[in-house]
């Protein structure tokens, strides 16, 4: 899939033992939310450690289009002068969210209860992803939307003139849908309630509270019930964005599969709604330890140390863990290829509607590199070939999906033959320093000419 300019093919060759410290960028989920909530507060929010990936830069531009003043003072150091809940102005042009599902879905929620109209679009990947999961609950608030067939972008959302509060049970485990409903609920009167059968990442809940919203979370037999009181005056905040566990996954997993590696990945949040991969790796027998465990801003944080782990075993990943590691299945499947035995992953049909169909993208790419993969609509299984058994040697398609590109670049660091990714440009959406950072640790990449 193309859609962002000239492809940038990149080849990953057998790495030297990966050694040293990997300082990964700021958390993508928290970066989007910092900008959006900052724009909905009254006054100046200061942000440090903001991810300067393309997805987040699109959200910064979008917040400007909706009337907030968003300024970059230096790397990671930003300020947002917000316009208050209900204070968004109508964008003068189409809002292009690039590759970012989180960006577009949260922003649709944030504007859907304000009487303005906005048209959203994105790159070829984002234009193929379903937006009905957000526009359905927005219709309950009184908003209207007009998109392409199947609820695809470009899409125009007409915000509700007189929004009503909503009680909504999310039909799939999705923090984006939950967050869109909560952000819409900010400008509705009364109480907006979201119920999720399985808990998903809870950054919106934590941050809304931090900005002064009245929000309660109660676990009931029906699921997690989140109640938000409408019309708060959000107070600007000072936010230090933690480093992204989903980006940490790449140097951690690369270290586990590259012979002789020992890598420290400092300051990684271990919020239980995000840390499922690390538990899974430890269940597989990975030499992955948490050093310097501490609490920061109410969240557990540790330095992760990952060492080459030649004796990992395939496992059945508990399906109830899926939401807490949903973005990490592609790189887990790479680790599984270097374990012995079968790793089975069930309850993961959401993977089919990410930046790409991630089961299909990984299955095809792994098979091309000599790994056996079985799949069904909501499950897949990878048969490991052991620490030295993966042939590699193929060129794979990244499909405009940063995590597919990075996963196969990690595969190539440990396989017998180099692995080529047809287009590594999407890596810039979430991890712009991936290539230099991994090179410093010992990875070897070769840039190729566009075919
Ligand atoms: C995100 C939620 C998840 C995740 C995405 C970021 C968020 O998406 O895959 O990368 O920041 O809320 P879903 O809500 O579609 O599961």
pLDDT tens-digit map of 136-153: 999 999 999 999 999 999
Supply the pLDDT for residue 2: 44
Please state the atom number of ligand 1 nearest to the C-alpha of residue 323: 16
| Claim to verify: residue 247 and residue 144 sit in the same structural domain | no
| Claim to verify: residue 80 and residue 225 sit in the same structural domain | yes
Residues flanking ligand 1, CB < 6 Å: 29, 102, 174-176, 179, 201, 326-327, 350
Residue 4 lies in a domain: no
Residue 173 lies in a domain: yes
| Residue 327 falls in the annotated catalytic set | yes
Is there a binding annotation on residue 358? yes
Is there a binding annotation on residue 354? yes
Residue 1 lies in a domain: no
Supply the pLDDT for residue 5: 81
Q: What whole-number distance in Å separates Cα of residue 424 and Cα of residue 439?
A: 15
What's the predicted TM-score (pTM) here? Answer: 0.97
Please state the atom number of ligand 1 nearest to the C-alpha of residue 177: 14
Cα(101) to ligand 1 centroid in Å equals: 8
Task: Kindly report the CATH number assigned to the domain that includes residue 88.
Answer: 3.65.10.10
- Contacts of 375 by beta carbon, 8 Å cutoff, 6+ apart: 359, 360, 363, 381
| Claim to verify: residue 230 and residue 322 sit in the same structural domain | no
Supply the pLDDT for residue 163: 98
Cα(221) to ligand 1 centroid in Å equals: 24
Supply the pLDDT for residue 298: 76
Other C-beta atoms closer than 10 Å to the C-beta of 253 total 28
Contact predicate 333/362, CB 8 Å:
yes
Residue 222 lies in a domain: yes
Q: What whole-number distance in Å separates Cα of residue 395 and Cα of residue 420?
A: 4
Instruction: Name the DSSP letter for residue 451.
Output: -
Q: What is the pLDDT of residues 169-222, one digit of tens each?
A: 999 999 999 999 999 999 999 999 999 999 999 999 999 999 999 999 999 999
Residue 51 lies in a domain: yes
Supply the pLDDT for residue 433: 98
- Residue from 345, 290, 281, 289 nearest 313 by CA: 281
| Claim to verify: residue 110 and residue 176 sit in the same structural domain | yes
Q: Whose CA is nearest to atom 9 of ligand 1?
A: 327
Cα(79) to ligand 1 centroid in Å equals: 24
| Claim to verify: residue 153 and residue 216 sit in the same structural domain | yes
Is there a binding annotation on residue 93? no
First to last CA, the chain: 14
| Claim to verify: residue 131 and residue 172 sit in the same structural domain | yes
Q: What whole-number distance in Å separates Cα of residue 131 and Cα of residue 442?
A: 41
Which value, in Å, is the radius of gyration of the alpha carbons in the chain?
21
Supply the pLDDT for residue 194: 98
Q: What whole-number distance in Å separates Cα of residue 281 and Cα of residue 386?
A: 15
Sort strands 395-396 and 419-421 into parallel, antiparallel or unpaired.
parallel
Choose one of 192, 218, 240: the last residue of a domain.
240
Two tokens, residue 321: 């863990």
| Claim to verify: residue 58 and residue 102 sit in the same structural domain | yes
- Residue from 63, 6, 18 nearest 37 by CA: 63
How many domains are contained in the chain? 2
Residue 133 lies in a domain: yes
| Claim to verify: residue 101 and residue 194 sit in the same structural domain | yes
Two tokens, residue 71: 């300024």
Choose one of 213, 240, 267: the last residue of a domain.
240
Please state the atom number of ligand 1 nearest to the C-alpha of residue 106: 12
* Domain ranges, residue 153: 28-240
Task: Provide the strand spans (E) within 133-286.
Answer: 144-148, 152-158, 167-169, 191-196, 215-220, 223-229, 238-240, 262-269
- Mean pLDDT, the chain, whole residue set: 97
Q: Name the percent of the chain lying above pLDDT 90.
A: 97
| Claim to verify: residue 16 and residue 118 sit in the same structural domain | no
Choose one of 240, 255, 275: the last residue of a domain.
240
Which of 201, 247, 271, 401 to mutate for ligand 1's pocket (most ligand atoms within 8 Å of CB)?
201
| Claim to verify: residue 226 and residue 281 sit in the same structural domain | no
Cα(271) to ligand 1 centroid in Å equals: 15
| Claim to verify: residue 78 and residue 208 sit in the same structural domain | yes
Positions in the chain short of pLDDT 70: 1-4, 450-451
3-class DSSP state of 177: helix
Which of 99, 174, 429 to mutate for ligand 1's pocket (most ligand atoms within 8 Å of CB)?
174
| Claim to verify: residue 281 and residue 422 sit in the same structural domain | yes
Supply the pLDDT for residue 297: 76
Is there a binding annotation on residue 28? yes
From 123, 244, 327, 401, the catalytic residue: 327
Residue 287 lies in a domain: yes
Cα(429) to ligand 1 centroid in Å equals: 14
Q: Whose CA is nearest to atom 13 of ligand 1?
A: 174
Helix (H), strand (E) counts: the chain: 13, 24
Residue 202 lies in a domain: yes
Q: What whole-number distance in Å separates Cα of residue 51 and Cα of residue 25?
A: 6
């Amino acid at each position: 899939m193309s859609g962002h300019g000239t492809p940038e093919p990149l080849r990953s060759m057998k790495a030297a033992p990966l050694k040293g410290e990997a300082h990964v960028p700021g958390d993508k989920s928290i970066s989007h939310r910092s900008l959006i909530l900052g724009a909905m507060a009254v006054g100046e929010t200061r942000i440090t450690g903001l991810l300067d990936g393309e997805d987040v830069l699109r959200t910064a531009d979008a917040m400007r289009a909706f009337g907030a003043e968003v300024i970059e003072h230096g790397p990671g150091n930003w300020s947002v002068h917000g316009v208050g809940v209900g204070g968004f102005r109508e964008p003068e042009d189409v809002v292009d969210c690039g590759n970012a599902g989180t960006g577009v879905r949260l922003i649709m929620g944030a504007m859907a209860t304000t009487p303005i109209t906005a048209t959203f679009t994105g790159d070829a990947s984002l234009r193929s992803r379903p937006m009905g999961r957000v526009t359905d609950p927005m219709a309950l608030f009184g908003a209207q939307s007009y998109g392409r067939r199947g609820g695809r972008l470009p899409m125009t959302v007409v915000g509700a003139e007189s929004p009503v509060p909503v009680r909504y049970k999310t039909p799939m485990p999705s923090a984006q849908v939950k967050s869109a409903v909560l952000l819409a609920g900010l400008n509705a009167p009364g109480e907006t309630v979201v119920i999720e059968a399985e808990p998903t990442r809870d950054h919106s809940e934590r941050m809304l509270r931090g900005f002064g919203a009245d929000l309660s979370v109660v676990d009931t037999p029906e699921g997690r019930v989140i109640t938000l009181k409408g019309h708060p005056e959000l107070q600007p905040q000072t936010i230090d964005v933690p480093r992204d566990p989903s980006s940490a996954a790449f140097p951690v997993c690369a270290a586990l599969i590259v012979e002789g590696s020992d890598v420290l990945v400092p300051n990684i949040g271990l919020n239980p709604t995000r840390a499922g991969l690390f538990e899974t790796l430890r269940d597989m027998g990975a030499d992955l330890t948490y050093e310097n465990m501490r609490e920061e801003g109410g969240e557990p944080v540790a330095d992760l140390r990952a060492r080459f782990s030649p004796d990992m075993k395939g496992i059945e990943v508990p399906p109830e863990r899926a939401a807490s590691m949903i973005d990490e299945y592609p790189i887990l499947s790479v680790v599984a290829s270097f374990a012995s035995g079968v790793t089975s992953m069930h309850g993961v049909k959401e993977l089919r509607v990410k930046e790409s169909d991630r089961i299909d993208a990984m299955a095809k790419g792994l098979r091309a590199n000599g790994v056996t993969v079985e799949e069904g609509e909501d499950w897949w299984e990878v048969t490991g070939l052991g620490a030295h058994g993966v042939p590699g040697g193929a060129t794979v398609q990244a499909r405009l999906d940063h995590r597919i590109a990075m996963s196969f670049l990690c595969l190539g660091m440990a396989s017998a033959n180099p692995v080529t990714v047809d287009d590594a440009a999407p890596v810039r959406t979430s991890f712009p320093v991936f290539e230099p950072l991994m090179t410093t640790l010992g990875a070897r990449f070769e840039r190729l000419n566009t075919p």
